[in-house]
Amino acid sequence: MSLKAFRYDALMYFCNRVVANFPAARLRHFFYRSVMRIDIAPGAWLLSGIWFDTRGNCTIGKNSVINQDCRLDNRGGIFIRENVSISPGVHLITADHDIDSPSCAGRQAPITIEKLVFIGSRATILPGVTIREGAVVAACACVTKDVEPYTVVGGVPAREIRKRNRNLDYETYYRRHFL
């Protein structure tokens, strides 16, 4: 293993095992912005235990909240717009393997989450998915394809349950300084 690869692995270990569990959110945010190159807009809030798979490739919009113990596999790119609420234990997965490829080749595709989206606990969003404005992903759902605006989806794989009210006018504002 090269020294460069060793240093990178050490950085990722420090980020995900040490920094992710700092008791002060502002210290985590400073590290994520300055060292990990995560674009965190004003008012966005990342709680403890978040796991990143690489540096950069992640934008978190104004007033968006990412709760505890989420996995942000940002290798393929994650784009979270404003006023998004991501509940605890959510996995955003941007990379997988082509099981039909003779070499089981790796592949990546970005995830985009538009404004005013709510994602329930332990949901999984797979590579290449866009969750459109105002949509809701129910807890424990596995989203394998795009979700239309103001649509509530749930299940494995996620399917439409119903439509959501379009008269939304809120900001997510969530401050927990020691989580």
- Cα distance from N-terminal residue to C-terminal residue, the chain: 35
Question: Domains of the chain, with CATH numbers?
Answer: 3-163 (2.160.10.10)
Burial class (CB in 10 A: 0-12, 13-18, 19+), 42: exposed
Residue 177 annotated among the catalytic residues of the structure: no
Strand partners of residue 106: 97
**Residues 138 and 128: beta-carbon distance below 8 Å:** no
Q: Of the listed 29, 91, 97, 177, which one is catalytic?
A: 97
pLDDT tens series, the chain, 179 aa:
799 999 999 999 999 999 999 988 889 999 999 999 999 999 999 999 999 999 999 999 999 999 999 999 999 999 999 999 999 999 999 999 999 999 999 999 999 999 999 999 999 999 999 999 999 999 999 999 999 999 999 999 999 999 999 998 888 877 766 66
